[in-house]
């Protein structure tokens, strides 16, 4: 929870050109009923970006977010990216301006 708070407060904008977006749904393990969803966004100039919270966005589901981003293929969108990143394979964005 601390990472989310810090990233919300320190987020900087980065403009990236959209290639595609897709929802990734996973569970916490074989005995877990917890479902974790994220949208992974492929960009031409910023690499892979993912969004794992719908906070401060006008969408009701990750599927809706993915659809709206895919409608903008080839266009630039502004992502709000916090300073603390936990993965070197992709960048976590706190939100995207649609």
Query: For 7-54, how does the pLDDT look when each residue is reduced to its tens digit (9 = 90+)?
Result: 566 789 999 999 999 999 875 556 556 668 999 999 999 999 999 999
Give yes or no for residue 2 having a pLDDT over 70.
Answer: no
pLDDT at position 56? 85
Domains of the chain (ranges, CATH numbers) = 2-97 (2.40.50)
pLDDT at position 70? 98
Question: 38 and 62 in contact (C-beta within 8 Å)?
Answer: yes
Q: What mean pLDDT is reported for the chain?
A: 86
- The residue assigned the tokens 């990233």 is 7
- Of 74, 92, 73, 72, the closest CA to residue 82 belongs to 92
3-state DSSP assignment of residue 50: strand
pLDDT at position 8? 63
pTM for this prediction: 0.81
């Amino acid at each position: 929870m601390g990472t989310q708070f810090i990233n919300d407060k320190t987020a900087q904008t980065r403009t990236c050109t959209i290639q595609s977006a897709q929802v990734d749904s996973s569970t916490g393990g074989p005995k877990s009923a917890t479902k974790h969803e994220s949208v992974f966004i492929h960009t031409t100039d910023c690499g892979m970006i993912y969004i794992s919270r719908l906070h401060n966005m006008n969408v009701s589901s990750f599927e809706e977010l993915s659809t709206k981003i895919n409608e903008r293929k080839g266009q630039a969108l502004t992502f709000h990216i916090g300073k603390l990143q936990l993965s070197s394979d992709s960048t976590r964005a706190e939100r995207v301006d649609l």
